Amino acid sequence: MSDTIAAAPKLKYEQLTEQILGAAIEVHKALGPGLLESAYEECLCHELNLRGLRFARQITVPVLYKGINLDCGYKLDIIVEDTVILELKSVDRITSIHEAQLLTYLKLMNKPVGFIINFNVAVLRHGIVRKVL
């Protein structure tokens, strides 16, 4: 019988998502809750850049309807390393519609991991929802 303990399973894209969440926590520590989503987006993009992460912001999300990609006006907030979708919020609480929006963006963009990050909380870890396809 072996005395080794099985390692905990790794999360999908764990190293990348740790860097992203570290950047978000840094922004939240500096700014705290109560600002508009746009302020958090600007600061988070600056923090991602400082960490050497590639990102794009305000990306059009096409809706595939009967074989045609249509521009229906949907835009996701940030995509990091062409892999992780970030939906930023500054709301009282994350609701099921926010989670459904993120899941839909993950499916439409064919991306594996996404986060809702609600900066309008006292402790940021209470404002983070992770979704994986």
- 40-78: pLDDT as tens digits: 999 999 999 999 999 999 999 999 899 998 989 999 999
Domain boundaries along the sequence of the chain: 14-132
Look up the pTM and report it: 0.89
pLDDT at 13: 87
Reported as a single tens digit per residue, the pLDDT across 78-105 is: 999 999 999 999 999 999 999 999 999 9
CA distances from 77 to 3, 21, 44, 60, 133 (A): 47, 15, 11, 9, 18
Residue 12 has pLDDT above 80, yes or no: no
Of the candidate CATH numbers 3.10.20, 1.10.260, 3.40.1350, 1.10.10, the domain formed by 14-132 belongs to 3.40.1350
Q: State the residue for tokens 């302020």.
A: 39
Q: What is the pLDDT of residue 11?
A: 65
CA atoms within 13 A on the CB side of 4: 4
C-beta separation of 45 from 57 below 8 A? yes
